[in-house]
Amino acid sequence: MGKPKSSKKPNREILPRLYLEQSKSIREVAKELDVHPDTVHYWMKKYGIKTRTMAKRSKLLKYSLS
């Protein structure tokens, strides 16, 4: 029972590049990889990639993402 598992597994090298180096949000990373944001968060946790704090997230909002 429950949801079927997605066969999409974000690559260990791609996640840090998109999230840390390019400073994209989890939602932006998920959209780019065509997966749900929860999937990105799950694999970041599995790979030991630390998420940004709320303070750092709010500082990113003042920059245009387009």
Helix axes 37-47, 26-33, angle to 10 degrees: 110
CA dihedral for 12, 34, 38, 56, sign (positive or negative): positive
Please report the pLDDT score of residue 11 as a whole number: 84
Return the amino acid letter for 62: K
For the stretch 8-60, pLDDT in tens is 788 889 999 999 899 898 999 999 999 999 999 999 999 999 988 766 655 56
**25-52 burial code (b ≥16 CB/10 A, e <16):** bbebbbeebebeeebbeebbeeeeeeee
Higher pLDDT, 38 or 3: 38
pLDDT value for 9 = 82
Distance CA 43, CA 20 (A): 14
